[in-house]
Amino acid sequence: MNKLFYFLPLGAMACTTCSSSGKKISDELKGQRPNVLLIYADDIGYGDLSCNGTSSVSTPNVDKLASEGIRFTNAHCAAATSTPSRYALLTGEYAWRRKGTGIAAGNAAMIIKPDRYTLADMFKSAGYRTGAIGKWHLGLGAETGAQDWNGVVRPNPADIGFDYSYIMAATADRTPCMFMENGKGVGLDPNDPVYVSYKENFPGEPTGKDNPELLRLHPSHGHDQAIVNGISRIGYMKGGEKARWRDEDIADSITLHAIRFLERQQGATEPFFLYLATNDIHVPRVPHERFVGKSGLGARGDALLSFDWSVGQIMGTLQRLGLDENTIVILSSDNGAVIDDGYKDQAVELLGDHKATGVYRGGKYSIFEGGTRVPCLLRWKGKVTSGVSDQLMSQVDWFASFASMLGISIPQEGAPDSRNYLDSWLSATEKGRDFVVQQNIQNNLAITDGEWKYIPAAKGAAMNKQTNTELGNLPEKDQLYNLKNDPGEKNNVVDEHPELVERLRFELNKVIESGVYYKR
């Protein structure tokens, strides 16, 4: 095969299509500054939403959003876990290029340093009001383990471009179990300071390991340290009793703060960018009492109903405030589905024949499609024609795509892996990416180009035995799947297509060599 051919990604050879008027939608929309609302779900798999085909759970508010916008069937988060996906989304850089971007502890220092040019900075430089509400999981403070959780922890989202933040420092299953508003613990009583440790327990504090009799939700693996609200977590915590969240109220609290953020938009002259990251449906899954038992699928399904409720509240608020037409709404997830992620919440027992990853193999943590092919919807009422896009898309591109919409030129060091696919985000008939790079929990990589997916041989366990997830690692042999004929990645056809494998390997290496590859 001609080497020169290698330099042309497959998609580069096909001309991208134009709208019927012959004009690209991005041209038609030049100079517009719509609000951007990004609803970023946690652990919701491709098959978890009824708009993506499941009949075992009903998500009517999400379905409405899907029917009014574009539903992407081949969109990927950058990685198969939270921290690296969020890192890539906000920096436009693949997380595998950076050490220390794996799943963050609750007391991790802020992973995105203040001098980085972030997605929020980009919106701010275009005159937007910016907010981050919900799950953070990107670290806070200057030094791991050295935060004073009773003061204003800095750096915090304000230092990377967010005018307002109301966040959970990490995840619901990690201490500290309190909300942080603009860097400060919410509801803290100065007479009852809060302390956090990931090294050792505080004397006299019960733990899930030693005091299972105090638990109302038991861990299935890990999660046996501090007990908060009768649920044991990862990490230790002492004090701050009044500030501790009640798990049942987390979705309400996040949704309410998002609604308030939107209400403050009334009368504002500048548009907003809101990164609304839900806690649903991450573990521990303890949705509000009004959802309990309603899905028939146990806590995981009930958390999906809670998520859908939040979406409905937010959409209703946009409408009430007259923001419906001038707001781009995106809904997606930070990684694929997992059923048992560490608590005995009956998710496995009550799953029935629900396929949380759809037809895709693997799930959260995995290099298979179930790890990163996630739900993805985009609605821009009155501007974007509804439809279904089967194009290959990546969340890492939101950065450059929105920068292009706003006419912002990204500084040279900024968003190195992000590409402008604005037309493909706004039109289901436009061609998407030439390829996407996928990352699993071991920082092993795969590349999908068109219908072909190549997973180089790489070290790592075949299974996450705790969650019962196939990770897709095969140390001795490359893998090649034809996703068109074999979306479930069942038939490794690597031996049948040596030239194709060589080209995909070359293509992946080219991406890797354009920067650093930090291998775990």
Residue 241 DSSP class: G
Q: What is the nearest approach in angstroms of ligand NG6 to the Cβ of residue 70?
A: 25
Residues 168, 178: Cα–Cα separation, whole Å: 6
**In the window 331-360, what residues touch Ca ion (CB under 5 A)?**
334-335
Residues 80-139 that bind ligand NG6 (CB under 6 A): 81-82, 103, 137
Q: Which is nearer to ligand NG6, 104 or 188 (CB)?
A: 104
Residue from 185, 298, 342, 363 that binds ligand NG6 (CB under 6 A)? 342
Count of residues that interact with ligand NG6, criterion CB under 6 A: 18
DSSP class of residue 165?
A: E
Give the other-Cβ count within 10 Å of 206's Cβ.
16
Within residues 48-87, the interface with ligand NG6 by CB under 6 A covers 81-82
- Per-residue x/- track, 268-307, ligand NG6 (CB under 6 A): --------------xx------------------------
Q: What are phi and psi of 277, to 5 degrees?
A: -105, 110
- Give the interface segment with ligand NG6, choosing from 55-63, 221-229, 244-252, 484-492 (CB under 6 A): 221-229
Could you give the angle at which helices 250-263 and 299-320 cross, rounded to 10 degrees? Answer: 10
- The stretch near Ca ion (CB under 5 A) out of 43-51, 58-66, 305-313, 448-456 is 43-51
Among 82, 156, 442, 479, binds Ca ion (CB under 5 A): 82
User: Which lies closer to Ca ion via its Cβ, residue 184 or residue 221?
Assistant: 221
Written as one letter, the residue type at 147 is Q
CB atoms near residue 296 (< 10 Å):
12
Query: Looking at beta carbons only, is 103 or 256 nearer to ligand NG6?
Result: 103
Q: Cβ(445)–Cβ(512) under 8 Å?
A: yes
Q: Of 57-65, 258-266, 335-343, 370-378, which part binds ligand NG6 (CB under 6 A)?
A: 335-343
Residue 19 vs 466, nearer CB to ligand NG6? 466
**Number of residues that make up the chain:** 520
Which of 347-378 are b and which e, b meaning 16 or more Cβ less than 10 Å from the residue's Cβ?
beebbeebbbbbebbbbbbbbbbbbbbbbbbb
Among 159, 341, 417, 434, the residue binding ligand NG6 under the rule CB under 6 A is 341
- In the complex, the smallest distance separating the C-beta of residue 87 from Ca ion, rounded to whole angstroms, is 13
Cβ contacts of 277 within 8 Å, gap of 6 or more: 40, 42, 86, 132, 133, 134, 135, 136, 167, 334
Residue placing its CB nearer to ligand NG6 in the complex, 103 or 493: 103
At closest approach, how far in Å is the CB of 83 from ligand NG6? 6
The option from ligand NG6, Ca ion, none interacting with 173 (CB < 5 to 8 A, set by class) reads ligand NG6
- Nearest approach, Cβ of residue 87 and ligand NG6 (Å): 11
For 16, which DSSP code? Answer: P
Return the residue of 184, 218, 221, 419 that touches ligand NG6, per CB under 6 A: 221
Q: Distance (Å, rounded) from C-alpha 85 to C-alpha 445? A: 14
Task: Report d(CA 304, CA 232) in Å as an integer.
Answer: 22
| Interacting span for Ca ion (CB under 5 A) from 38-46, 60-68, 192-200, 273-281 | 38-46
Exposure string over 71-97, b if 16+ CB within 10 A, otherwise e? bbbbbbbbbbbbbbbbbbbbbbbbbbb
Cα distances (Å, whole numbers) of residue 58 to 7, 65, 356: 45, 14, 13
Please report whether residue 43 would count as binding Ca ion according to CB under 5 A: yes
CB 185, min distance to Ca ion, A:
23
Contact assessment for residue 339 and residue 300, using Cβ atoms and an 8 Å cutoff: yes
Say how far apart CA 461 and CA 442 lie, in whole Å.
Answer: 9
In angstroms, give the least distance from the CB of 263 to ligand NG6: 29
* Residue ranges in contact with Ca ion by CB under 5 A: 42-43, 82, 334-335
* Residue ranges in contact with ligand NG6 by CB under 6 A: 42-43, 81-82, 103, 137, 171, 173, 221-223, 234, 282-283, 335, 341-342, 466
